[in-house]
Amino acid sequence: MGDYAAEMSERGLSLQAIQAYERKLSSSTLSASDKAEIHFSIAEIYRERMTDCDNAIAHYIMIDYIQPGGGFAKKAAPLISECMEKTSRFMDARRTTEDEQTDSNKQPIVAVVRGVEISLSDLNQIIRDTMMDPTQLSREEKIELLSARISQELMADAAMRRGYQKDPDIQKKVEEFRRSQLANKIFQEEIRGKSKVSPEAVRKYYDENKSIFADENGGIAPFELVSAQIYAKLNLEAQQKAAQTYLQSLLASEKTEIFRDRIPDKEK
């Protein structure tokens, strides 16, 4: 669901995609399953596109509150653990010291591709790049990931030998990806650091809006259960405000003008 929001995400416009999904959440006609799906989509953007595990976790947790035991809650559960590993919360000390104490040159070689050796340390890093814990995967799962990575590299090399990197469509997509990564970098440095939400603000919002967290029987969800949801909401709003301020300053400095009356509205 949410074709516009999904397209924004696919084009690397992460913040705009999140905003689009948030607008959908305001609809009163959504089912619990619809809401869970939207929160999952938002969480995936934070996790995969923006490497923002804090906000991703908040939305994953919200899914279980909206639809406990549902399909999206089951999909979110392992991702919460992965995000916590990624942000070093509850990190197993053995994993953090494993590569620091071992000389990479002495690591077992697990594969050789065109004469290039891939060590166990390299494999572990490949796995961590996918936000998974090497210690929690079986040998066959690790081999599957390694094979997929090798296949991807070999196919990319084959494509380059055929000159596909010169294809206009490929170049356009590469440039779009490059610019989206640059935009994400400036977002990280200029916006996220200036949009912190304090625990006091989260508590205040809960105290002033308890009716929002009432169930069908009138019971109010405890603060501990919804604090992550509130943080995600306030943090997103703060990021949107900071982004708007920053973008306005860019637009002004670059003498940019949008001719709104020349852009057609949707057909009725």
Residue 223's nearest CA partner among 210, 237, 238, 236 is: 210
SS3 (DSSP) at 195: coil
Per-residue model confidence as pLDDT tens digits over 94-147? 343 444 444 444 678 999 987 888 889 889 888 887 768 888 888 999 999 899
When pLDDT is cut at 50, 70 and 90, the band that residue 193 belongs to is low
When divided into structural domains, the chain yields a total of 3
Same domain, 63 and 102: no
| In-domain check, residue 49 | yes
| In-domain check, residue 62 | yes
For residues 131 and 82, is the Cβ–Cβ distance under 8 A? yes
CATH code, 54: 1.25.40.10
Same domain, 16 and 98: no
Radius of gyration of the chain (CA): 22
Same domain, 13 and 83: yes
Q: What is the mean pLDDT of the chain?
A: 79
103 or 158, which is more confident: 158
The domain boundary residue, chosen from 33, 57, 91: 91
Same domain, 21 and 70: yes
Same domain, 212 and 264: yes
CATH code, 119: 1.10.8
- Specify the DSSP class assigned to residue 212: G
Same domain, 155 and 208: no
Q: What is the dihedral of CA 183, 185, 186, 189, to 10 degrees?
A: 160
The domain boundary residue, chosen from 70, 91, 112: 91
Which residue has tokens 């596909």? 164
Same domain, 67 and 122: no
Same domain, 58 and 86: yes
The domain boundary residue, chosen from 39, 60, 91: 91
SS3 (DSSP) at 91: coil
Quote the domain boundaries for residue 17: 1-91
pLDDT above 90: percentage of residues in the chain: 6
| In-domain check, residue 36 | yes
| In-domain check, residue 148 | yes
pLDDT at 15: 80
- Specify the DSSP class assigned to residue 254: T
81 or 152, which is more confident: 152
